[in-house]
Copies of this chain bind each other. A is one copy, B any other.
Amino acid sequence: MTTDASARKQAPAPLNGVNTPALFATIDVVKNQPQLGAFQFRAAGEWLGGTQSRTTMSDFSGAGGEHSHKATYTANSDHPMVLCGADNAPTPVEYVLHALAACITAGIGNIAAARGITLHSVGSSLEGDIDLRGILGLSNEVRNGFSAVRVSFSVKGDAPDAKLQEIVRQACARSAVFDILTNGVPVSIKTGN
């Protein structure tokens, strides 16, 4: 979830599958009514046994109202066999990599369209290092999560390399997930029954 407000005086035509005029209109609406920018995304998780679970994502609020996705989306997760799971789905940490790739890639599409640059392809390759001595409870000095994440983008489009690289930089600078991962977020946990 990334976009770009620069140069919005001259909204270019739709490009890269992005409805650029609608995007620029949205930016102007939120600029004039900042309270419409307040969104809340939601998810509901359900344990399926072992290390497997399913998450349902169906509704969210924002732009002053309630919204439903056009379908109720689900995502499953599991641990791999080498970690004593059934490997019926990707691991939770792989979904973190997915969220990061998807967020920056959407931003690249939006920003290129806003700048009038036609994209041919955007590929990304992500690696996250994790020492399992953390989550296995074998060390209090080893963190539980990734110690480092590396992302490599390959962008092809009708612009010089420097312009394409600048689009990736701007996409990161306005990426929700890049911000969440690099700066952290307060998480509160409540337990009932």
Contact = CB atoms under 8 A, between A and B. Distances in A.
A164 interface: yes
Interface string A78-93: 1111111111011111
12 contacts: A3-B137, A40-B129, A42-B94, A43-B98, A44-B101, A45-B105, A50-B109, A77-B102, A95-B102, A134-B174, A134-B179, A145-B179
A136 B5 contact: yes
A80 to B, nearest CB: 6
A99 B96 contact: yes
Interface in A171-193: 172, 174-193
A53 B105 contact: yes
Copies in the complex: 2
Contacts of A182: 184-187
A134 B98 contact: no
Interface string A132-166: 11111111001111111111111110000100110
Nearest to A20: B84
A61 to B, nearest CB: 10
Contact of A189 (B82, B168, B189): B168
Contacts of A30: 132-133, 136, 138
A117 interface: no
Contact of A92 (B99, B119, B185): B99
Contacts of A87: 69-70
Query: Which of A19, A46, A69, A89 has the largest count of B CB atoms less than 10 A from its CB?
Result: A69
